[in-house]
Amino acid sequence: MAIHPKLSLALLISTFLLLSLSLSHAGKIAIYWGQNGNEGTLAETCASGNYNYVNLAFLATFGNGQTPMINLAGHCDPTTNGCTALSSDISSCQAKGVKVLLSIGGAAGSYYLASAEDARQVATYLWNNFLGGSSTTRPLGHAVLDGIDFDIEGGTNQHWDDLARYLSAYSKRGKKVYLSAAPQCPFPDAWIGGALQTGLFDFVWVQFYNNPPCQYSSGMADLEQAWKQWASIEATEVFLGLPASPSAAGSGFIPAGDLASRVLPAIKGSDKYGGVMLWDKYHDDQSGYSSAIKNHLESSLDRRALSADWTKHVDTAVTKGSTSHYVRELDANIRWNDIENINVFLKREKESKKCIKASKNASVRKKRCERGVVKYLIHFNKCRSLPHIVLRHGSRHPDSSSNQRKCWLKESHVPLHLLKEYEEKQLVRAPNRTTLEEKWLRLPFQKDGEVGAEHHIAMKMS
């Protein structure tokens, strides 16, 4: 193993759990930027930390022999090469892990693909001027964008599949070309439904607004039905597209509270759930919507992993410093309401607050493994009764009485601070060794056999 031998078990546990979060379907936010000069710079957008994808809107003119023209409203003037200054902003975004795509089309653009050959020529133009190709007249300078977003809302529905195939083929030249699309929520989309059937799209942010038959304003049933249809397409991830404020669209805005308590719980279980797309940055600035929903987007899938994942990811750790960085991030994002690993705490109702308080006053007494499932015996000190969440997921200890309230819980239902406290105590009790080449670590994930206070796992450190 490459990890520093003096790292505490608690540090390893925290790091592993954070890595597990990244492997689960953690919800992301995509934003459209470019159509309002008062929405801040592109660099500021990415520096906010709220967005994982930024779509530059729009390349509004192209195809059918037209000279392609980018339109970024008041941000820059492409006719005087004024948009090349965005190159450094794009690089800044990418350095922060934010993918930047060029959105082609839009609601008011002039675009049209006359033939498959026309699609090939447009793909060549996009590659040479915005992606990994070379051109002396790149509108956004030397920065290489991550992909192309299809926001097709006019023209015809012909040859967008050809354009997707030609663009996807450029991925074979080195850097992957990501493809995304923003169809309307009525299924299938009238404009790019055929293109989506190619299975070449990485991200599909469906516009669940300005479409009463399938948006939230018409009730959850219609939205859920439309979501199930979109989640069935051959794409890597599907996003819920929403207006970032009531004024951002004619209809379809979902208040943050409703999104967290009603909509997200209904869709986050989908294998292809990716997160939320917002229109647009200007309106998000006015409403603060992305900040309000960000912590509610994570999937309800179990965020712990098995021992094989523990071994895999701890093996990749390099230094104590880099590992500590992840731990600090973990501490900043995970709170004690993690006891359920699902969305029961979104409303913060009275009963939920009681459960959080109970978890803070609890402690782990024992640990065991049953049929490959690790369980911890939790003692709820100073609690008049066991929380309903615990009763629903746990099993009472035979000795549990009115004064000794104990319950066995699966590892995935135990708050992180309790795991950390218990494992650190066991590490302190472990016998000392005379060499740094070997450390005795007690792992929280065991496949078989009961794990008591005297059981230890030897791990070779190098």
Which residues carry out catalysis? Answer: 153
Task: Tell me: cis bond preceding 188? Omega within 30 of 0 counts.
Answer: yes
Long-range own/partner contacts, residues 226-231 (CB < 8 A, 24 or more apart): 226/185, 226/186, 226/187, 227/266, 227/267, 227/270, 228/270, 229/187, 230/183, 230/185, 230/187, 230/204, 230/206, 231/267, 231/270, 231/271, 231/272, 231/273
User: Using an 8 Å Cβ cutoff, are 275 and 299 in contact?
Assistant: no
Q: How far is CA 226 from CA 199, 216, 271, 344, in A?
A: 19, 11, 15, 25
Beta partners for residue 148, in sequence order: 102, 179
Provide the 10 A C-beta neighbour count for residue 2: 11
Nearest CA to 254 out of 238, 265, 242 is that of: 242
Would you give the distance in Å from CA 81 to the centre of its chain?
Answer: 35
Q: What is the dihedral of CA 150, 156, 158, 160, to 10 degrees?
A: -10
Residue ranges with strand state E in 172-293: 178-181, 203-207, 237-243, 273-279
Q: How far apart are CA 11 and CA 23, in angstroms?
A: 19
User: Using an 8 Å Cβ cutoff, are 344 and 300 in contact?
Assistant: no
Provide the 10 A C-beta neighbour count for residue 107: 10
Task: Tell me: cis bond preceding 380? Omega within 30 of 0 counts.
Answer: no
The SS3 assignment for 428 reads: helix
User: Using an 8 Å Cβ cutoff, are 350 and 388 in contact?
Assistant: no
Q: How far apart are CA 159 and CA 177, in angstroms?
A: 19
Question: In the block, which residue shows the tokens 């004619």?
Answer: 250
User: Using an 8 Å Cβ cutoff, are 148 and 179 in contact?
Assistant: yes
